[in-house]
Structure 1
């Protein structure tokens, strides 16, 4: 995540602020996985309907719909887009052989961090997948923009069409709720660390199952490639220069996002459309968010407190992402506050707001004394084989 270093101050602030905001969207989705096994094993809607008696303020189905439309599968692709921009910026600043060597090393280090995070803390880790996709994306850094665009669109469209057709043929079976697995996971995550570890490892192995991992790569890689295209064309450096083109991109991506994110709700059983909703709709939403936020940021002074707060979280994105997992582990699992499966959706959203506000404030004041976050420091020090500067 920390691969997003940029050569000019304005670009650092803009990209970091967008990345910082992305962590809020990511936390909203991730907290559902931390709170109960239903996000993975089904029955999410009926489960949260039963939680209404636990102090639900807003209708649970409305909250789940809002999360599905505006957050689910939209913010990880946005992070992937930013990651792709960062890959290109790091590549262009160095000799191609040296850049490839450094980038490959960074991806393997990120893979190691992802493995530790996924196995010992939270099965929903994305760093491991990012590292694999990053290794693939490096091979595209010298490909022409036209070919990059063809690859990105093809990688989004072809697997989506094939998987959606396959899902339609078994659409009734996709509604199955795995009650046995739900009960087993609930008991384990409320137990000792040994029980938590075993269940987490089991869930993580499901997440990195070859088929599941391939689907993840097919969703993320196109966004890496779109990010490389944006980095190479400089479509985010001078907003005023490219304003007309940016508004056109915002309009097109918005329409695609609405059609593919909201369109499936016209079907009574939309489960078979979930992959299309996430891959096409989520990717379009990510592009829309990127440029809409970029236009918003361009209208604000870079000294604005909001820009400073969001960019501070973004500059510490790796540390803040892992911190969210550590907090989630402590809040919901048996070795901590043991809130697993006990909270209403309204309560979970309140928890998200509190955690994120905490990260905004701490990140802002932390960067007044330190140059980089603790996990960014480990990441960079391992990459360059020397102790990097920590304090200002």
Structure 2
């Protein structure tokens, strides 16, 4: 009997979507592109290890600090929170129909992993989809937990990451390690070589460099795993306590959470800013102070942003405007995320317009705004005619197979 029911389990329909989640998702997409632009356009990771910058004027310096304070780690944290919420929505919807959807969810993650692996190896090393696909399996063990347990899990995971960076900073201050002039020169030459490969190299040469970059950031990604898990748990906690489904009844609580997270976030930003000012290479203890501060401020400021958006959307006029302009972007978030990579690699890589290493932070902000405005426009017109974004439709078809084909038709009925 259960198998028969599973054959009729279908993707979420348009009338079942929660508008605020789509709007928040759209907001997160903009912030992610704003932060990722530095990594699309420069060898940012290696440059930071050397202590060099691609800022060339005052506008670039202001832009760098603007992104650092308001966006870095904040929007990947927000997107991760939404993924945790999406997991519970997916599972609860199946349970309402009396269906065990664990196998559907596992298949959904495997398809996402396939998308992520193609993205990370053949397009851009900064992919986030592989992280979500791998860590998503852990959510199956947390689904039945009570809100208090989810909150505790989030705080413990968060504390472990921050404590590690603060401990490493303390040890590095005691060790007082420094790069030799020879090491510094070699690393600076490596930054220049990487910039040349991405700006002038062939697809194969860029592929080889991308694989090397993946190996360079592998260790750092372990800590990003911790941030993502923290936000998965916070998302599940907030969902189970009714903040997104009964917002009007939780306004006082939302305001308290917003104020509390803002205070924590400001403390984290002070630490991160000190690290950023004094950092002078990979062996600098300030490197760990910076990222310890970012891993405090990222999750907390992202929660502050989400709570602020919920409060703003209590105004019906603002909600109507956000629904018109931003909800379509959020509805096709996977498509828009991957589209950002295609556009940016075309702009910056050698097989495109070869602008890698030539655009500073201020120029990156202008490009971000241009791309996002185009995404708002085409998402609006696409969702007028179609039920899903193209990648969302493919994800559903590969997840559900032959189940409920009619519901999964891409084009809307005329």
The reply to whether TM is greater than 0.5 is yes
Q: Aligned pair 1:206/2:212, yes or no?
A: no
Distance 1:135 1:310, change over 3 A: same
Deviation at 1:257, TM superposition (A): 0.7
SS, match of residue 94 in structure 1? helix
Is the CA contact 2:63–2:365 (under 8 Å) kept in the aligned structure 1?
Answer: no
TM-superposed deviation, 1:113: 0.5
Question: For the structure 1 residues 243 and 174, does the alpha-carbon distance in structure 2 shift closer, same or farther, using more than 3 Å as the test?
Answer: farther
Q: Does 1:391 align with 2:411?
A: yes
Q: Give 1:182's match in structure 2, choosing from 171, 179, 191.
A: 191
Deviation at 1:181, TM superposition (A): 2.9
1:174 CA displacement: 8.2
Q: 1:336 aligns with which of 352, 359, 364?
A: 352
Q: Secondary structure at the match of 2:170?
A: helix
Count of residue pairs brought into register by the alignment? 380
The SS at the match of 2:193 is helix
1:84 match:
84
Distance 1:236 1:83, change over 3 A: same
Task: Decide whether the 8 Å contact of 2:161 with 2:295 is kept in 1.
Answer: no
- Residues 1:316 and 2:326 are matched in the alignment: no
- Give the aligned partner of residue 244 of structure 1: 252
User: What residue number does 2:104 align with?
Assistant: 102
Distance 1:79 1:15 in 2: 10
Gap change, CA 1:92 and 1:151, over 3 Å in 2: same
Separation in structure 1 between the aligned mates of residue 271 and residue 13 of structure 2, nearest angstrom: 40
Which SS does the other structure have where 1:319 is aligned? helix
**Runs of 5+ unmatched residues, structure 2:** 1-10, 280-285
Match for residue 163 of structure 2?
161
- 3-state SS of 2:249 partner: coil
TM-score (norm 1): 0.91
Cα shift at 1:368: 0.4
Are the counterparts in 2 of residues 120 and 201 from structure 1 also a CA contact under 8 Å?
no
CA distance in 2, matches of 1:278, 1:264: 6
| Structure 1 range deviating more: 351-360 or 37-46 | 37-46
Provide the residue aligned with 1:28 in structure 2. 34
Q: Distance in 1 between matches of 2:243 and 2:288?
A: 35
Match of 2:283 in 1: none
* Contact kept? 2:271, 2:289, Cα under 8 Å: no
What CA distance in whole angstroms lies between the structure 1 residues aligned with 2:319 and 2:163? 45
CA distance in 2, matches of 1:200, 1:159: 27
- In the TM superposition, what whole-angstrom CA distance separates every residue of 1:19-40 from its partner, at most 9, and x where no partner exists? 0011110001101001010234
Separation of aligned partners in 1, 2:196 and 2:268: 37
Residue among 144, 156, 175 paired with 2:146: 144
Write out the 4+ residue segments of structure 1 that deviate beyond 6 Å after TM superposition: 5-8, 174-177
Deviates more, 1:266-275 or 1:243-252: 266-275
Distance 2:296 2:319 in 1: 36
Farther-moved stretch of structure 1 (8-17 vs 178-187): 8-17
Alignment of 1:1-392 (within 5 A): 12-42=18-48, 46-49=52-55, 51-52=56-57, 58-95=58-95, 98-170=100-172, 173=177, 178-190=187-199, 191-207=201-217, 209=218, 211-266=219-274, 268-269=278-279, 270-301=286-317, 304-386=320-402, 388-392=408-412
Q: Deviations over 1:99-131 (max 9, x none)?
A: 221111111111110000000000000000111
CA RMSD of the aligned region, Å?
Answer: 2.3
